[in-house]
Structure 1
Amino acid sequence: MSTIEQGIEVDVPIRTAYDQWTQFETFPQFMEGVERIDQLTDTRTHWVTKIGGVTREFDAEITEQLPDERVAWTSTEEPKHAGVVTFHRLAADKTKVMLQMDYEPEGLVENVGDKLGIVQRRTKGDLERFKQFIESRGGETGAWRGQVDRPQP
């Protein structure tokens, strides 16, 4: 299992950054390799990705969502990956977005890419494009303010 941790400061209020992050269907506009995301239910999304010429489809389940604080998810099938994005108020109009993701590279190409830091660089680029996307818009494209509580063991 590999872990990625990346963060970026965005010049928008925390509510704007969080609200935009809940609009999963806009992710292809700033995430490299994400072709489409369908919001199936409040807590389930279906992803279509194309990376290195390989198309993959998978579902992810939101395991925790606290408005203006965090969104956590896990894949529902192989390859396994899970993550959390947290939002930190730095000033009235400045937010730090932190992403932590655990994933399991699959096959030779993904393992080599992991060792070369390709996923780490791609994630950094995705956050930089998110910053440009949200700052250039000046506001979010929508919002989902619902809460999903972490399941108790």
Structure 2
Amino acid sequence: MHIHGGVSGWAMFPEPKERVMAEDVQAPVNSARTSFTPLPDAKQVGDLYVALPKGNKDGVEWAHARQTILVEPQALYELWKDETSYPLWMEHVVSVTPGEGKTSHWVIGDPEDADGKRIQFDSELTEDVPGQKIAWKSTGGEVEQSGSVEFKARKDGRGTVVTLIQGVKVGALASFAASVAKRGPKQTVIEDLRHFKQMAEAGEIPSVKGQAHGPRGMSGGIKEWMYGETNPTPPGTSEGPLTAKE
């Protein structure tokens, strides 16, 4: 038996029958992890995880966002394919007018400021897989950008994983576009996909416009400026949510 002495008395502990060395202890296996669980900032191809593009590469500022939306992939695809609805959920999109073939004309600015700055450019679809993926690129105008959105049903049946990727050519025009939107490319992608989720699931985009709040302090003021929280909220739609897949 081991006897351990102390200032206030003695304590006796039985000798262990067998010593266990640290290297003999095996870490438990996380059986809760499944083959389809996505890693942060990555997309899965089979069992292989591929990092999504982000940051500045070859003069293009890449950004991405991902949301799980409780709606079937086909319904989400059809909602995204409706270009005329973009002003309802994309920030600072004044109008999108379908053109010939797979083209469209975009006008960007503050919808609430009729006399404010406007940026215009044309875009065309480069890939269109019904219910799965839409990709695009600009073809002329004041902005050089490209991107894609993918819709992938979760294997557990709980909605659709939507991944949005977008790249904007860095330069004077991109800076001008950012000044109009009051957001950087990364935050713009995050907010647009968040609004898309709200409209798809709830049929509308919540707004706190007109609601009073107390002083936010220095930290709150910095975040308000960084994230463009004074941007007008897209109007959304009152047609009701899409059919969710339970």
- Fold-level similarity (TM above 0.5): yes
Q: Are 2:138 and 1:75 equivalent residues in the alignment?
A: yes
Structure number with the higher helix fraction is: 1
Equivalence for 1:97: 162
- 2:124 aligned residue: 61
What does residue 21 of structure 1 align with?
Answer: 80
Once the two structures are TM-superposed, the CA of residue 81 in structure 1 deviates from its matched residue by 0.8
Q: Answer whether contact 1:13 1:93 (CA < 8 A) is retained.
A: no
Q: Conserved in 1, the CA contact under 8 Å of 2:147 and 2:167?
A: yes
User: Partner of 2:70 in structure 1?
Assistant: 11
Higher RCO (CA 8 Å, separation ≥ 6 residues): 1
Q: Deviations over 1:91-132 (max 9, x none)?
A: 545011111111113328818x59x97221122111111111
Structure 1 residue runs of 5 or longer lacking an equivalent are 141-153
Across the aligned residues of Structure 1 and Structure 2, the Cα RMSD in angstroms comes to 2.6
TM-score by length of 1: 0.80
Give 5+ residue unaligned stretches, structure 2: 1-59, 111-115, 203-239
For the residues of structure 1 that align with 2:138 and 2:166, how far apart are their CA atoms? 11
Q: Percent identity?
A: 25
With over 3 angstroms needed to count, the CA separation of the structure-2 counterparts of 1:41 and 1:93, relative to structure 1, is: farther
1:39 to 98, 106, 116: 98
> Taking structure 2 as the reference length, what is the TM-score of the superposition?
0.51
The residue type paired with residue 108 of structure 2 is T
Highest Rg: 1 or 2? 2
Q: State the number of aligned residues.
A: 139
